[in-house]
Amino acid sequence: MTSTTVASAPAESSALRIAGYRTFLITFMLAMMADNIEHVISYWVAFQKFRSAALGGFAVVSHWLPFLVFSVPVGALNDRFDSRRLIQAGMVLFIIASLGWGYFFVTDSLQLWHAMVLLTIHGCAGVLWGTSSQMLLYDIVGPGHLPSAVRLNATARYLGVLVGPGVGSIIMQTLGPTRGIFVNTLFYLPLVFWLVSAPFGRHFRGATAGAKRAVRGISDIVQTIRDVRGMPVVGGMVLLAGAASFFIGNSYHAQMPGFAHDLGHGDPGMAYTVLLGADAAGALLAGILLETRGTWLPTAPSSALKIAFLWGCSLFTFSFMNSYAAAICVLFLAGFLELSFSSMTQALVQLNAPDTIRGRVLGLFSMSASGLRAFSGVTVGLLGSVTNTHVSLALSALAFVTVAGLLLLRRPPQDA
C-alpha cells in the first residue's frame, strides 16, 4: 500500500466520540492554558524587574530553539519508552519552572540568569510534551479519527492562547503574581494524574516497537531525514511545515502593533488587539467547521498544499492593506486557512509514518514546524528593520508561496 493510499483510506469521524480522547483533550487544554498563564505572569514580573529587551528576545529563542535541537531525540525516546511517562516528565518540568519563578518572587532574589534558566526549562518541557502527545494521540484515536483529533488539538491550542492570557491577568489581579504562579501549577496536575493509568500507548498494549536504535543527536536527525526522503507524502508535508515556520511562523503577530499603527484606525492598542483577535477567530471557526462540516475537505496532500498556498497569498495581501476593515477580513481568512492546512499536514504525517519509527518522524515534523520558528524573527523582524514590516512580510509570504507552489506542481498525479 502506498503512502498516499494510507493517507486517504480511513473514513473520518469525530474523535470526540472516544471517551479517552475527550479526557485527553480537556487535560491538554488545561495544560495549554497553564503554559500561557505562566508566560503572562513571568514575562510581566521579569519586564518590571529588568526592563530588558534582550531577555524578551531570549524568551522567544528559548521557547523555540529546544524544538529545533531536541524534537528528533525526544521522538526517538518515544520509539523506545512509554509516551505517557515522557508527557508526565514534561509536565513536571513545567511545574518546576513555575515553582522556580514562585521561589524567586517570594524571596525577591530573581536575577537575569535565573530567568534565563527557567525560560530554558520551560522550553524543554514544551518539547517533551508536544512531541510525546502527538505520539500518544495516534494510539488513542486510531487512523480513522486522527484528522479530527489533530484539528481539535490545534483548536484547543488556539483557545489556550486566547484564554490563557486573560485568565493569567485575572489571577495576577486577584491573587498577585507570587500566589498566582503557585496556583498555576495546579492546572498541570489533571494530565499528570490521568496519565498514571491511562489505558493507551504502545507500551500499554505491549506492541512490538521494532529494532531499538540508540538516540544519537545530530546523526539521528540525519538518518531520520534519509528515512523520510523515501516517503513522498511525509517529506512534502515536513518541507511545507518547515517553510511556513521558517519564512513566516507567528512572527507577524509581534509586528502587529506596527501594522495597527500604520492602518491608523483609532487607538493603536485596541486596533492591535482586534487584528490579533481576527486571526485567532478565523482559526477557531476553521476548527469548528472542519469538525462539523469537514467532509467537503479531504485530508490529502493536494488539499494541504492548496490551502497553504492561499494562506501565503492572504498574508501577502495583508502586508499591503491600507483599509482597517479589509485588513480584519483578510486576517480572519488567514487564520482560517492556517489552522486548516497546519492540522492537515500534521495528520498526513501521522497517517503515513511507519510505526517502528513513528516517534522519530513526528520529532522531525515538530523540529520543522516549531523549531524553525526561531528563525522567522529574522525573516520578518530583522528584514523589517532594514526595509519596513510591510515589505518584509510581503517578501517572506512570497518566499513561502513559491515553496508551496513548487510542491504543488511537483506532487504525484495520484495526490491530486
Domain 13-197 and domain 216-416, same fold? Reply is yes
Q: Is the pLDDT of residue 38 over 70?
A: yes
Q: Is the pLDDT of residue 391 over 70?
A: yes
Give the pLDDT score at 205: 63
Q: Which three cell numbers stand for residue 55?
A: 531577555
Domain 216-416 has CATH 1.20.1250.20: yes
Query: In the CATH scheme, what architecture does the domain 13-197 have?
Result: Up-down Bundle (1.20)
Give the pLDDT score at 265: 61
What is the tens place of the pLDDT at every residue in 354-375?
888 888 999 999 999 988 887 7
Q: Is the pLDDT of residue 56 over 80?
A: no
Q: Is the pLDDT of residue 9 over 50?
A: no
Give the pLDDT score at 240: 95
Give the pLDDT score at 8: 45
The predicted model gives 57-68 an average pLDDT of 83
Q: Over pLDDT 70: what percentage of the chain?
A: 84
Whether 93 and 125 have beta carbons less than 8 Å apart is answered as yes
Whether 134 and 366 have beta carbons less than 8 Å apart is answered as yes
What is the tens place of the pLDDT at every residue in 156-171?
887 776 777 778 878 8
What is the tens place of the pLDDT at every residue in 167-194?
887 888 889 899 999 999 999 999 999 9
Domain ranges in the chain? 13-197, 216-416
What secondary structure, in 3-state letters, does the chain show? CCHHHHHHCCCCCCHHHCHHHHHHHHHHHHHHHHHHHHHHHHHHHHHHHHCCHHHHHHHHHHHHHHHHHHHHHHHHHHHHCCHHHHHHHHHHHHHHHHHHHHHHHHHCCCCHHHHHHHHHHHHHHHHHHHHHHHHHHHHHHHHHHHHHHHHHHHHHHHHHHHHHHHHHHHHHHHHHHHHHHHHHHHHHHHHHHHHHHCCCCHHHHCCCCCCCCCCCCHHHHHHHHHHHHCCHHHHHHHHHHHHHHHHCCCHHHHCHHHHHHHHCCCCHHHHHHHHHHHHHHHHHHHHHHHHHHHHHCCCCHHHHHHHHHHHHHHHHHHCCCCCHHHHHHHHHHHHHHHHHHHHHHHHHHHHHCCHHHHHHHHHHHHHHHCHHHHHHHHHHHHHHHHCCHHHHHHHHHHHHHHHHHHHHHHCCHHHC
Instruction: Give the burial class of 196: count Cβ atoms within 10 A of its Cβ; 0-12 exposed, 13-18 middle, 19 or more buried.
Output: exposed
